[in-house]
Amino acid sequence: MAHLQNRTSRNTTQVLQKSQFPLARKKNKKVIHFQKSVLYLSNNDKSKLTSQMKASFGEYIRKLRTENGMTLTQLAAQLELDSANLSKIENGKREFDEKRLEKLATVFSLKLDDIKTEFFSDLFAKKIYENNCSMETLMVAEEKVNYLKSKNVKQGEIKFNTNE
């Protein structure tokens, strides 16, 4: 089974690539082939590719905790969890509660949006893997999100001046 790996070079963007698929250049962009899907990454997308992309959300929490010199007990107390539950979360035996994302962001002085990205991408990846879905599932999901956003756009009121 192919695995994702980080690849870097001096003047290019960090990319993720399935090992059996070729990596090609196209006018300052990287092309990554995933089965039938092609993903283009510009050099501006480098900041979006984190080392955490290879880790589960629990492993991500452990990395944050250890990098900040915290013990399981210290972080668990700040998240209002017991250390046994936090240990299970870090080891992938229990899911992190979405309601605690804001606390987690606050503890590590991170943007809530960044924490949400890690959390929800982990959930989606697990579901896609468990159900043996193709990568096309992500593209369809993105289209559905765009549809939902456009459907929920509120139109402003237009007032016509009839006194002229």
Confidence of residue 153 (pLDDT cuts 50, 70, 90): confident
How far CA 69 is from CA of 59, 66, 82, 108, in Å, comes to 15, 5, 18, 11
Distance of alpha carbon 164 from alpha carbon 25, whole angstroms: 61
Kindly state the tokens that stand for 89: 């979360």
Indicate if 61 and 116 belong to the same structural domain.
yes
Give the structural domain span for 120. 51-128
Task: Encode pLDDT of 91-120 as tens digits.
Answer: 999 999 999 999 999 999 999 999 999 999
Task: Encode pLDDT of 61-75 as tens digits.
Answer: 999 999 999 999 999
Indicate if 85 and 20 belong to the same structural domain.
no
Residue 47: which residues within 8 A CB-CB, separation 6 or more? none
Indicate if 59 and 40 belong to the same structural domain.
no
Indicate if 111 and 90 belong to the same structural domain.
yes
Task: Encode pLDDT of 18-41 as tens digits.
Answer: 333 333 333 444 444 444 334 444
The answer to whether residue 135 sits within a structural domain is no
Indicate if 85 and 117 belong to the same structural domain.
yes
| pLDDT value, residue 151 | 84
Indicate if 42 and 62 belong to the same structural domain.
no
Are the beta carbons of 13 and 41 closer than 8 angstroms?
yes
Instruction: Quickly list DSSP for 9-40.
Output: -TTS--EEEETTS-EEE-SSEEEEEETTEEEE
The answer to whether residue 134 sits within a structural domain is no
Task: Say which DSSP state 135 is in.
Answer: T
Number of domains in the chain: 2
The answer to whether residue 91 sits within a structural domain is yes
Kindly state the tokens that stand for 37: 């899907």
- H-only helix segments in the chain: 57-67, 72-78, 83-90, 101-107, 112-130, 136-151
Task: Say which DSSP state 41 is in.
Answer: E
Domain containing residue 55: CATH number: 1.10.260.40
Indicate if 104 and 119 belong to the same structural domain.
yes
Indicate if 61 and 120 belong to the same structural domain.
yes
| pLDDT value, residue 111 | 96
The answer to whether residue 30 sits within a structural domain is yes
Indicate if 92 and 43 belong to the same structural domain.
no
